[in-house]
Structure 1
Amino acid sequence: MIEIGGNASANSIYEAFVLEGSSKPGPDVSHDQRMRFIRSKYELQEFLKPSLRITSGKTTSTKKPPSFLSSSLSTKFMDSFRTNSSSKKIVTVKKGTNLAIRDMMSSDPYVVLNLGKQKLQTTVVNSNLNPVWNQELMLSVPESYGPVKLQVYDYDTFSADDIMGEAELDIQPLITSAMAFGDPEMFGDMQIGKWLKSHDNPLIDDSIINIVDGKVKQEVQIKLQNVESGELELEMEWLPLDQ
């Protein structure tokens, strides 16, 4: 929290409009009272300025929806997140569904992840359009980063591997949510953020970010781009550098 400007920076956003009768709990309140305030503050977003609250569902607006927080938030606050966000991220590639055919009747798919100069890939699953990997790939997130680039290929022994679709994963919502909460082991299971589905990202549904058993995790379901068919299910987990 010190690295992102301290509690004062976070509270200037999340406690901007504390409602009457919802005063901040003192040191002597019960655990249940404290947790109710935390849920109201972060999960329900009751104290945020209404225009900044994150909602899911369809929108009739042509304006691009925010990926985590509205762009009208303090520029200094958000720049601090980006500048000091060095961390590790575990991407679990769970499974694929209805992947494209690249051989006679099937494909031999594997997934490649790229972030900066890092390139990691899963194992190959032979002759399967609905492969199950459940494989963890760990990426180091540098201070300056973009999306994780994902590609699915069909493995061929005697020729170049064929592309089976691609997508980009925005990791800013996960990192921003994690850093806003500090040590997730201090909190119970709860939702702390989301990456919203929109026309310009590959999400099938809104991607929810949760604290689960003291870990920050994000479930992601995506439709592969530039291909006739195919979906992937993944889980992303954030870890600070000292873990």
Structure 2
Amino acid sequence: MSPVSDPNDSKVTGRRRTSAASASSAKVDVLAGPAADATATIDAGDGRQIVVTDPKAIKALTHRARVLAIDELFGSRSTRTATELAELTGLTPSAMSYHLRELERFGLVKRVSPPEGVVSDGRERHWRATGDSVMTASSGGQPTQLTDYAKTRLDAYREKLIAEIEYREQNRRADSESHAQAYMYFGSLFLDEETEKEFLQRLSELEEEFTARSREAEDPDVPRRRTYYLLSGLPDRSRPFPGEKGISPIPYTP
């Protein structure tokens, strides 16, 4: 799930949700070197979660190519070369290498040896994510970097959505009997406070369930493909619950 639901808890890749508050009671190892004060590693129970707090590190993520590289490396849990990631992002290998070095500087990726069985001439490095998931968390500053990052991620998802719409339309014209699954739902619900919490919690649990099943699927004879998704629940801030604290209500347009 990729929600940006709270400036203090902004998860950005599809893994188990761990809030910044609960992180204080988990094992946290602050990364040394150039990544110090930028990221921390948390043992989230089901993997190493990389938490990005430094505004400069979050700003470094507001780039389409870096978002795609992060998604590929954290999602695949495997290694990729700059050339492979360049093909994914549409950049040159040298430009992609620069972006990978920037991500390395903030402790998000690292250079590793080629996987076992992979023949390498030694001229190109392999890269791997430094954890199993990544999230951003406010360090108390202005939310500019977080909002810019949210826009970058939404733009990347929008590209995939538009491409999927065009693909399905072309297939519909070629095969009128084709019935594809729905790929996006829009709507709103009127919920009381407890039901709202239950709704968001069940969305989170559903994502966690299928994330676990995705990790556990190891049968090489069963074909699999990556499925992109976006789960988000946004409360109507123009209608705060009685006694709810916060800034002035946001005047949403219906």
Fold in common (TM above 0.5): no
Q: Which has the higher helix share?
A: 2
Q: Which has the higher strand share?
A: 1
TM-score computed with the length of structure 2 as normaliser: 0.25
TM-score computed with the length of structure 1 as normaliser: 0.26
